Amino acid sequence: MVDLISSRTMNIMKLGMDGLMERQNAISANIANVMTPNYQRKEVAFESQLAEIIENDNLKNYIKGQNSIKYTPQTVDDFIAVTPSSQRQLTVQEKNFLQTNLYSKYNPQVMDDVFSGPDSRGNNVELEKEMMDLTKAGTKFVILSNLEKRAFEGLNEILKGQ
């Protein structure tokens, strides 16, 4: 049976929402410290981690596809003739890779922004930029949550038999 709730898309949407929530927390801290002397604004990076997870998940699916039998038997004798030995044997590295949980290594990185120049108080927070970044992160979060809601509504319709 396919586990529809734990699908790849749902997992990736959850990770994206977690990253955006972490980003919103960092932006809120930046806004709260806009007047704090020597405060260094925080940024959150997670998009490259998500891209790597998607790429590795694609590789897992490719390896699985290369090792599956794509044969439709025409007769009972044809079905019996198909044996697991007709599959390529996985290497130890492939077996280990297929068993890894790609999602467990996800960790949005909160870091100081060292590229923005500080003002006379040593603070590098620009309120207008933080407000725009907060709006962008909030909009992305709403989009992902709406997509997740639609997925669950679709699942609910399937369960109800509609």
Does one domain contain both 136 and 158? Answer: yes
Range of the domain at 119: 1-46+111-162
Last residue of a domain, one of 84, 105, 126: 105
Q: Which of 66-75, 79-88, 89-98, 139-148 is most confident?
A: 139-148
* Complete DSSP assignment for the chain: ---STT-HHHHHHHHHHHHHHHHHHHHHHHHHTTTSTT---EEEE-HHHHHHHHHHHHHHHHHHHHTS-----SSHHHHHH--GGGSPPPPHHHHHHHHS-GGGG--PEEEE--SSPP-TTS----HHHHHHHHHHHHHHHHHHHHHHHHHHHHHHHHHHT-
pLDDT band for position 83 (cuts 50, 70, 90): low
Confidence (pTM): 0.76
Does one domain contain both 52 and 100? Answer: yes
pLDDT band for position 52 (cuts 50, 70, 90): very high
Q: Calculate the average pLDDT of the chain.
A: 85
The total domain count for the chain is 2
